[in-house]
């Protein structure tokens, strides 16, 4: 039997909202340590990796490892029947379940839904836990804003790191521009900008993916960008007390 109860069901809704335009069908993996998900977009440019640890749930039980194939679109239809303040419980009964049950609980109502599961043949990529040569922490809303602004000018956005900070730049048909974000150690943790740069990087990415990734900014006030030259970038949103959502994006490489 598998059971996972989110005290804050709105959090689960935010996670689904954050990934819904990146991936269509996903395998949700559950085991004794928690729930995870790894899926790639159809063009193999972006990868979503979610980890939710059992300790972060109000209630968690998983006797046997389980793979649940879900359509994100259908999952969202069911989640629309829940309130943002509901507690949400996911549950399966059988060893090889064909449905995933949802209980939405508020002060005055309890709703039950069953979502049909699918069998998905999805390859899991072994993404190594590597050291990155530049790691930047900055406010997630600031990152969202910069991507939106620069995305107006060109479809590719450049990111350059140095000991002084991080610079975003674009060069398009209409002209070019850059935004430098200064390092600060303000007392407000959500406004802090930190750069750990062992080796500077200069990378280029398709901005439309960033604009999709930025839907995850509702999960955390800070975003962590981990980069190495000519390697996929990782954008991480820490989900407080529960785990993290990591979004990987392949760069455009200078030929």
Partner 1 sequence: QFYQLNLKEFYKNL
Residues 178-237 binding partner 1 (CB under 8 A) are: 204, 206, 230-232
Contacts of 240 (CB under 8 A, 6+ apart): 220
Contact region with partner 1 (CB under 8 A), list: 12-20, 70-78, 91-99, 244-252: 244-252
Q: Which residue in 129, 131, 185, 255 binds partner 1 (CB under 8 A)?
A: 255
Q: For residues 141 and 237, what is the distance between their CA atoms, to the nearest angstrom? A: 12
* Contact status: 176 vs partner 1 (CB under 8 A): no
* Closer by beta carbon to partner 1, 60 or else 210: 210
Residues 116-135 binding partner 1 (CB under 8 A) are: 125-128
Both tokens assigned to 68: 């649940």
Shortest gap between Cβ of 22 and partner 1 (angstroms)?
Answer: 12
On the CB side of 55, CA atoms within 13 Å amount to 5
179 closest CA partner among 145, 130, 206, 155: 145
Count, residues near partner 1 per rule CB under 8 A:
22
Q: What angle do CA 71, 114, 39 make, to 5 degrees?
A: 25
Contacts of 176 (CB under 8 A, 6+ apart): 153, 169, 170
Shortest gap between Cβ of 246 and partner 1 (angstroms)?
Answer: 13
* Closer by beta carbon to partner 1, 43 or else 108: 43
For residues 160 and 201, is the Cβ–Cβ distance under 8 A? yes
Sign of the alpha-carbon dihedral angle for 136, 141, 146, 152: positive
Contact region with partner 1 (CB under 8 A), list: 16-24, 27-35, 41-49, 137-145: 41-49
Contact region with partner 1 (CB under 8 A), list: 7-15, 44-52, 78-86, 140-148: 44-52
Shortest gap between Cβ of 157 and partner 1 (angstroms)?
Answer: 12
Q: For residues 65 and 115, what is the distance between their CA atoms, to the nearest angstrom? A: 19
Phi, psi of 215 (to 5 degrees): -65, -20
* Contact status: 44 vs partner 1 (CB under 8 A): yes
Shortest gap between Cβ of 230 and partner 1 (angstroms)?
Answer: 8
Residues making contact with partner 1 (CB under 8 A): 40, 44-47, 125-128, 156, 204, 206, 230-232, 248, 250-255
């Amino acid at each position: 039997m598998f059971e996972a109860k989110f005290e804050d069901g709105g959090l689960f809704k935010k996670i689904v909202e954050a990934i819904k335009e990146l991936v269509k069908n996903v395998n949700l993996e559950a085991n004794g340590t928690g729930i995870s998900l790894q899926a790639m977009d159809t063009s193999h440019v972006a990868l979503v990796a979610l980890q939710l640890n059992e300790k972060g749930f109000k209630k968690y039980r998983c006797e046997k490892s389980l793979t649940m194939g879900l359509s994100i679109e259908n999952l969202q239809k069911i989640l629309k029947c829940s309130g943002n303040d509901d507690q949400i419980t996911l549950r399966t009964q059988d060893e090889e379940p064909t449905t995933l049950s949802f209980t939405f609980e508020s002060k005055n109502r309890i709703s039950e839904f069953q979502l049909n599961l699918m069998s998905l043949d999805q390859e899991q990529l072994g993404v190594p836990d590597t050291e990155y040569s530049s790691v930047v922490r900055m406010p997630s809303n600031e990152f969202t804003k910069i991507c939106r602004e620069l995305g107006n000018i060109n479809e590719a956005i450049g990111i350059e790191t140095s000991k002084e900070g991080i610079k975003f730049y674009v060069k398009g048909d209409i002209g070019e521009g850059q935004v430098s974000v200064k390092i600060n150690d303000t007392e407000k943790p959500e406004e802090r900008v930190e750069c750990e740069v062992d080796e500077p990087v200069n990378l280029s990415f398709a901005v439309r993916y960033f604009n999709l990734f930025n839907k995850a900014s509702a999960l955390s006030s800070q975003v962590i960008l981990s980069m190495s030259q000519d390697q996929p970038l990782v954008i991480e949103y820490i989900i407080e007390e529960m785990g993290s959502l990591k979004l990987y994006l392949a760069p455009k490489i200078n030929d």
